[in-house]
């Protein structure tokens, strides 16, 4: 690279008392790096760092090792502390080959007249002309940071509208209902009717700009595309489809005998190793919140916006006596990517309490609802086990 426009320039003033040997120490720290990535110019008492790309974690380790030889408060120590802080404060960068790329990383993504084209396309046309209120309400104290054993529909109907920031849940595949009519069509219609009556209440209590994230997989054996049916429900209720995350479980323990028509196009059975997270927003794609309450790191953000998350399934389901738990890592990513600290998190199908546990750990407020008294007790014990 031969032009300065290809670099991000950082400036650090040097102390007037700095000695030439200290300047030599500072200069020597940059010699192992390619000028393509990073180089230093010292002009009088002003140091300029020209930054293009950097393995920041590796650089940080190098500097930490170097600082062991300098006394705290020395010119070199002050310089490198300031440099690391400035680089760490850069929030916008790309990732390539294990390095953070600070300049030119989004050139290929630029679209001319983007806003004009988006207006012409009419973004999320299906969610226009909604009647959602923009006025937030407080969640009553008696429901804040609680695990409650109740019917979700009844309890949610008692809450004020617009009092929940984010909903993260994985609905059950049945509600423990007994069906006199065993026809599948009636069975599943009843299931979705029950589910959507609860989701209607979830939409009502969700704040304007709030998010609802539903972990779901198609019911393959019955050929019911649950993720599409649920997504269609939210679209019909004028929520905005924010996106879809593929949760790759890398679970290859499928029975090979389940391939349907063996070596024949007659009726092959497709195998899947993933589930979905369907993400919807109420009224607006943008959620208001203070930047200081965003707790996601730059590297986490860059990795997690790639909408395929490789996360192993929950291994401790037997310990909690629950047959279908999602792992804590899934909820960690969902909450850090789509909510702020102090937000109120709801799981209307809280089960053994993974959502509420992670919400507590991440300094969110929570409300977990489940109809099973046994699961509510387990969820409460998990909350009480958290040590700060």
Kindly list the domain boundaries of the chain, sorted by start residue.
4-109, 134-384
- For residue 35, give both structure tokens: 């000028």
Give which of 165, 333, 316 is closest to 247, Cα–Cα: 333
| Least confident segment among 38-47, 140-149, 223-232 | 38-47
Q: What is the mean pLDDT of the chain?
A: 85
**Whether residue 2 has pLDDT greater than 80:** no
CA distance 317 to 50: 51
Is residue 163 very low, low, confident or very high in pLDDT (cuts 50, 70, 90)?
A: very high
Q: Please report the pLDDT score of residue 182 as a whole number.
A: 45
Give which of 157, 283, 272 is closest to 226, Cα–Cα: 272
Cα–Cα distances in Å, from 46 out to 14, 80, 149? 6, 14, 64
Is residue 109 very low, low, confident or very high in pLDDT (cuts 50, 70, 90)?
A: low
> What are 173-226's pLDDT values in tens digits?
765 544 444 455 558 888 899 999 999 999 999 999 999 999 998 887 778 899
**Whether residue 118 has pLDDT greater than 80:** no
**Beta-bridge partner residues of 51:** 8, 38
> What are 76-100's pLDDT values in tens digits?
788 888 888 888 888 788 888 888 9
Q: What percent of the chain has pLDDT above 90?
A: 45
Give the residue-averaged pLDDT of 18-28: 81
Give which of 239, 165, 160 is closest to 199, Cα–Cα: 239
Q: Which CATH superfamily is domain 134-384 in?
A: Vaccinia Virus protein VP39 (3.40.50.150)
> What are 53-62's pLDDT values in tens digits?
988 888 888 8
């Amino acid at each position: 690279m031969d032009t300065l426009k290809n670099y991000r320039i950082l400036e650090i003033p040097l102390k007037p008392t700095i000695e030439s040997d200290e300047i030599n120490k500072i200069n020597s720290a940059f010699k192992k790096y390619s000028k393509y990535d990073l180089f230093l110019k010292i002009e009088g008492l002003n140091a300029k760092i020209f930054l293009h790309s950097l393995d920041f974690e590796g650089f940080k380790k190098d500097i930490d090792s170097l600082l062991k030889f300098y006394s705290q408060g020395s010119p070199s120590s002050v310089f490198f502390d300031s440099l690391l802080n400035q680089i760490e404060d850069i929030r916008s960068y790309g990732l390539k080959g294990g390095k953070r790329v600070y300049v030119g990383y989004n050139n290929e993504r630029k679209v001319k007249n983007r806003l004009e084209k988006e207006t012409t396309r009419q973004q999320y046309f299906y969610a226009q002309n909604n009647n959602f209120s923009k006025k937030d309400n407080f969640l009553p104290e008696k429901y804040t940071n609680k695990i409650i054993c109740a019917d979700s529909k009844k309890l949610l109907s008692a809450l004020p509208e617009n009092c929940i920031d984010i909903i993260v849940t994985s609905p059950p595949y049945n509600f423990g209902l007994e069906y006199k009519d065993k026809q599948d069509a009636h069975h599943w219609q009843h299931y979705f009717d029950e589910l959507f009556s609860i989701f209607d209440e979830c939409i009502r209590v969700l704040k304007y700009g709030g998010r609802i994230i539903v972990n779901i997989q198609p019911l393959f054996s019955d050929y019911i595309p649950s993720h599409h049916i649920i997504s269609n429900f939210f679209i019909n209720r004028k929520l905005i489809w924010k996106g879809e995350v593929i949760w790759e479980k890398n679970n290859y323990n499928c029975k090979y005998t389940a391939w349907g028509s063996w070596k024949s196009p007659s009726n092959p059975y497709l195998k899947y190793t993933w589930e979905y997270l369907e993400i919807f927003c109420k009224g607006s794609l943008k959620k208001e919140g203070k930047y200081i309450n965003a707790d996601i790191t730059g590297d986490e953000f860059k990795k997690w916006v790639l909408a395929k998350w490789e996360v192993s399934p929950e291994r401790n389901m037997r310990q909690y006596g629950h047959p279908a738990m999602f792992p804590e890592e899934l909820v960690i990513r969902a909450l850090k990517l789509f909510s702020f600290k102090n937000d109120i998190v709801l799981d209307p199908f809280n089960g053994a309490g993974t959502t509420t546990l992670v919400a507590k750990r991440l300094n969110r407020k929570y409300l977990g609802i489940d109809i099973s008294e046994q699961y509510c007790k387990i969820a409460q014990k998990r909350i009480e086990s958290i040590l700060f």
